[in-house]
């Protein structure tokens, strides 16, 4: 069965430190991978997706098919990055449902 | 910028009662979804809806659940006889088209079953 694993529930770093939020997935085909972010008292919103290979708010994520990973990275964390981050997998075709990981709360300390 | 809206923001109901959660997706979107998140747990897919019918549903979406798009703008989730374990945050989402990559989420409705 398809699955998304985020091993860390909480990640706490100091401002300016590098950040890596881990995500591993299991899926037999070619899924689409995403990172969603939820800031305090705001709705879930898309941060980035693997297809676009872009950097959003300084974050990047590379799909590693060999390791079935899609880790989210930022070289210098900012206080405003503090939020809940969800790695997600979307199955192509059908209803295009999204399967979420359990989420990692990132806390950036001043 | 258009947004998905949901009402109410918080619904309290007694066990066994019917509840209807409402969503207004973004107007030119074609795919609609319901997800739920039990407190402290992951966001779980419930159902997807396209072309006026369910395209996929999860094991959670049993006979107690139903969805409807009654008037071309609202998208509702009905739970016929609520159970304590239905207490969760329910998120609606919509997507423009098949080739689109982004599902836009609503702010959620917190359902509390007592």
Contact criterion met (CB < 8 Å) for B101 and A102? no
Q: Which of A45, A46, A95 sits opposite B55 (nearest CB)?
A: A95
pLDDT band at A28 (very low <50, low <70, confident <90, very high): confident
Coil, strand or helix at A39: coil
For residues A54 and B27, which has the higher predicted lDDT (pLDDT)? B27
Length in residues, chain B: 114
Reported as a pLDDT band with limits 50, 70 and 90, residue A81 is: very high
Upper half-sphere CA count for residue B35 (Cβ side, 13 Å): 23
CB atoms within 10 A of CB B34: 26
* pLDDT > 90? residue A29: no
Name the minimum distance, in Å, from the CA of B62 to any CA of chain A: 17
Q: Categorize the per-residue pLDDT at A94 as very low, low, confident or very high, splitting at 50, 70 and 90.
A: low
Number of Cβ within a 10 Å radius of residue A65: 9
pLDDT < 50 stretches in chain B: none
Distance from CA of A35 to the nearest CA of B (A): 11
Residue A108: CB atoms within 10 A of its CB come to: 20
């Amino acid at each position: 069965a398809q699955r998304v694993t985020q091993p860390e529930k909480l990640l706490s770093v100091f401002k300016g430190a590098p950040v890596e939020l881990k995500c591993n997935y299991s899926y037999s085909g070619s899924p689409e991978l995403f990172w969603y972010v939820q800031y305090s008292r705001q709705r879930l919103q898309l941060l980035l997706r693997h297809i676009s290979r872009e950097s959003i708010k300084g974050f990047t994520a590379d799909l590693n098919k060999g390791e079935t990973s899609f880790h989210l990275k930022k070289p210098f964390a900012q206080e405003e990055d503090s939020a809940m981050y969800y790695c997600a997998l979307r199955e192509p075709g059908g209803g295009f449902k999204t399967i979420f990981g359990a989420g990692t709360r990132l806390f950036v300390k001043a | 910028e258009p947004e998905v809206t949901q009402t109410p923001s918080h619904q309290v109901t007694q066990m066994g009662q019917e509840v209807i959660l409402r969503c207004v997706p973004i107007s030119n979107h074609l795919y609609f979804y319901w997800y739920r998140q039990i407190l402290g747990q992951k966001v779980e897919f419930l159902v997807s809806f396209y072309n006026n019918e369910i395209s996929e549903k999860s094991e959670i979406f049993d006979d107690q659940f139903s969805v409807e798009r009654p008037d071309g703008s609202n998208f509702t989730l009905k739970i016929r006889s609520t159970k304590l374990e239905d207490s969760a945050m329910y998120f609606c989402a919509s997507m423009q088209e098949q080739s689109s990559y982004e599902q836009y989420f609503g702010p959620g409705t917190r359902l509390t079953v007592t």
